[in-house]
Amino acid sequence: MNTPNTSITERKGRANTQFLGLDINLPVFAISSGLAVIFSILVLVNPEKSYEFLTNTRDFVVVWFGTLFTVSMSVFTLIIFFLIISPFGKIKLGGKNAVPEFGFLSWVCMLFAAGVGIGMTFYGAAEPLSYYTGVFGTPLNASPESEEAYRLAFSATIFHWGLNAWSVYAIIGLSLAFFCYNWKLPLTIRSIFYPLLGNRIWGWQGDIIDIVAVLATLFGLTTSLGLGARQAASGLFYLFDLPNNLLTQSLVIIFITTVVIFSVYRGLDKGVKVLSNINIGLALVLLAFVVLAGPTFKIIMAYGENLIFYFQDIVRLSDWNRPEDLQWYHDWTIFYWAWFISWSPFVGMFIARISKGRTIREFLTVVMFVPLLFCLIWFTSFGQTAIFQFQEGIGNLSEPVEDISLVLFYMLDNLLFPILTSIFSLFMLVLFFVTSADSGSLVINRITSGGKENTPRIQRVIWAIVQGLVAIVLLVGGGSYALSAIQSGSISMALPFIFILIAATISLLRGVYIELYDPQKMINQNGK
């Protein structure tokens, strides 16, 4: 449908404010940046109290809303499958005559690049190994190092990175693409709610939605930056004996932020796409190396086996009534759901931007299943290699490892060319770092500018600085528990955004119904 509603097409947003060279939605920009700065100051002034507050907030969210996270992720997945098989799947993003901007292969690569990177590098070997050894507990309280622990090491890992995880990206990405390309609304989160709020999305209701989206994205990104900084510092310590402390981690973030600022200031928008493609290329090279240098036969045989385990265990792992492994469930599953929810505005907007011309069925099928297959291959390859080294008593992985940021380097140390591959991995991590921070500043800037694509470069510079600042602040505020502080921030900000996601899903279903069956309704309600 080409929506002829004049009230939509004429009102593409409230007028921005031009101020000190900025082109911004003033309430969203001022409140979002102001809250981020105030938060940073409070943490730096009193890090101990701040850490206590963050952990208490996290515990409250996990205990009282953990079930909501788990149920929501499962429901999102079911709704996506419904949209794939339903008549709504034939709706084309951009209308019947829309033509895809990118070729299929390029589109698929960019889709995947948007939602992976630092996290998979950090957890690729560490997560399956941790579940198998039970160093941080085991899924479903399986006995460590047992056959059940081995099975769940992979099925639980793929569960965390598979269909349920990508469902939240698919919901936001499809919603943004649909309302932007089919209803001609700005590419910003508030646009999703037009079927529910009408022109009120341009008022304070829309401002609140965008502010929550900005803060969720900010804390989701800083979680990734914090994890990346910790692993980069671990790599520098392992390779060059540099101290792995908060100072080194903070300097890593400062260095990356400086690179991002330079990239943003130079206007290297196309560079993000190039870097994303390079990142994927490097990741594939490292993956191929691990498969060939590791226990190749065991890895290849495990692909099909682990996929079967995943589908057999997905219902058990989706159960929110988990007294047998409650702590593990809170520390891992709920953290992951919160992290992905926080990332969803960022990844969803990127996916929406490149998906014009695709049908809903094509969009959802690719977004859901391509990442699942790659995650299956990635975690099986790295996890199988790490577990094999543990079982055989090889090198530093002969004993359970509590510092999971070192697992990747310990594993590579037992393969061919250990120094070279570790440096290669460190370089890949830095590139993922830069790409995530650069793309994140672009997305946040777009939300705070009311969906405008062409804005002054200084605005992205500001948000690049804010990202780095918040990541450093969480590291400092967390002290020796820096990772816990970072995770606490992500979980806390995911809570308000889950309600936005639920409402967005309802709005999307209403929107596609109107698009397919009742296009006149929007005209009658809002037309002149």
In this structure, is residue 13 part of a structural domain? yes
How many structural domains is the chain composed of? 1
* Tens digits of residue pLDDT in 5-51: 434 443 455 678 887 778 888 899 999 999 988 888 888 788 778 77
Judge contact between 230 and 215, C-beta under 8 A: no
Judge contact between 156 and 313, C-beta under 8 A: yes
In this structure, is residue 1 part of a structural domain? no
pLDDT of residue 9: 41
In this structure, is residue 427 part of a structural domain? yes
Residue found under tokens 């939300």: 447
pLDDT of residue 310: 97
Q: What phi and psi, each to the nearest 5 degrees, are found at residue 92?
A: -95, 135
Residue found under tokens 């400086």: 258
In this structure, is residue 528 part of a structural domain? no
Token reading at 45: 């002034």
Query: What's the start-to-end Cα distance of the chain, in Å?
Result: 19
Q: How far apart are CA 511 and CA 514, in angstroms?
A: 5
Q: Which residues 6+ apart lie within 8 Å of 75 measured at CB?
A: 505
Q: Comparing C-alpha atoms, which of 440, 32, 344, 345 is closest to residue 211?
A: 32
Q: How far apart are CA 50 and CA 61, in angstroms?
A: 16
Using a 10 angstrom Cβ sphere, with 0-12 exposed, 13-18 middle and 19 or more buried, the burial of residue 70 is: buried
pLDDT of residue 8: 45
Token reading at 11: 């009102």
CA angle, residues 461, 431, 383, in degrees to nearest 5: 135
Which residues is 22 bridged to in the sheet?
A: 19
pTM of model > 0.95: no
Token reading at 343: 């990332």
Distances (CA, A) of 452 to 361, 393, 448, 456: 28, 56, 9, 10
Q: How far apart are CA 394 and CA 386, in angstroms?
A: 9
pLDDT of residue 406: 92
pLDDT tens string, the chain, 528 residues long: the values are: 444 343 444 345 567 888 777 888 889 999 999 998 888 888 878 877 877 888 888 889 988 999 999 999 999 999 999 999 999 999 999 988 888 887 887 777 777 665 566 788 889 999 999 999 999 999 999 999 999 999 999 999 999 999 999 999 999 999 999 999 999 999 999 999 999 999 999 999 999 999 999 998 888 888 778 878 888 888 999 888 888 888 888 898 898 888 888 777 665 555 566 777 788 889 999 999 999 999 999 999 999 999 999 999 999 999 998 889 999 999 999 989 988 998 888 889 888 988 999 999 999 999 999 889 999 999 999 999 999 999 999 999 999 898 898 999 999 999 999 999 999 999 988 888 887 788 788 889 889 998 887 788 888 888 888 888 888 887 776 655 666 777 777 788 889 999 999 999 999 999 999 998 877 665 554 443
In this structure, is residue 238 part of a structural domain? yes
DSSP state of 358: -
DSSP state of 120: H
Judge contact between 504 and 79, C-beta under 8 A: no
In this structure, is residue 92 part of a structural domain? yes
Q: Print the domain residue range for 191.
A: 6-523
Using a 10 angstrom Cβ sphere, with 0-12 exposed, 13-18 middle and 19 or more buried, the burial of residue 51 is: buried
Q: Which amino acid is at 145?
A: E
Which domain CATH number covers 279?
1.20.1740
In this structure, is residue 353 part of a structural domain? yes
pLDDT of residue 480: 53
- Find the helix packing angle between 163-181 and 482-517, rounded to 10°: 50
pLDDT of residue 24: 86
Parallel, antiparallel, or unpaired: how do β-strands 17-19 and 22-24 relate? Answer: antiparallel
In this structure, is residue 407 part of a structural domain? yes
Instruction: Give Cα 434 to chain centroid, integer Å.
Output: 15
